[in-house]
Amino acid sequence: MTDGSRSGRRGTGWRRLLGLQDTPPETPDTGGDPAEEAECVHIRDCTEGPEGRRVVTVRGTLRSVGERTVGGLPALEAELDDGSATLSIVWMGRRSIAGIEPGRDMIASGRLVASRGRSVLFNPRYELKPLGTE
């Protein structure tokens, strides 16, 4: 089964649409709680390593949430702030997600991508923290 791209690799169309280079297929997601899989790192320490895009888990507060288009398709973009720096989070094909709103604490886990000079997590796994917990 493919995503309709000629290479037959899942997600290749999105990477091409965003101007990102193709990378080898990723290992399948095994499920589970992002907070249990890896320790959260400070956003300021989130950079692509010499081996390429790495998987990171970060925790912070959503400072802004808005809709934009990427290649004519809807995308929900949020800015996550942990006090050390900010990180863009983008959910492709979404205009809104219940609970994703400014002021909400969350943990996000995904493959770090450098796009337009900024670090971005595309379609991360995430956990919203209950309101009033810090």
CATH code, domain carrying 53: 2.40.50.140
User: Strand 86-92 relative to strand 118-122: parallel, antiparallel, unpaired?
Assistant: parallel
Contact 43, 89 (CB under 8 A): no
Residue 130 has what pLDDT? 85
Instruction: List the domain range (segments joined by +) for residue 47.
Output: 40-128
Q: Which of 30, 27, 42 has the alpha carbon at shortest distance from 85?
A: 42
Could you tell me if 81 and 73 are in contact, meaning their C-beta atoms sit under 8 angstroms apart? Answer: no
Q: How many C-beta neighbours within 10 Å does residue 58 have?
A: 28
pLDDT of residue 24: 38
Residue 86 lies in a domain: yes
Q: Is residue 52 part of a domain?
A: yes
* pLDDT given at position 4: 42
Residue 15 lies in a domain: no
| Number of domains into which the chain is organized | 1
What are the per-10-residue average pLDDT scores of the chain (134 residues)?
Answer: 41 51 40 54 78 83 94 94 94 94 95 84 93 65
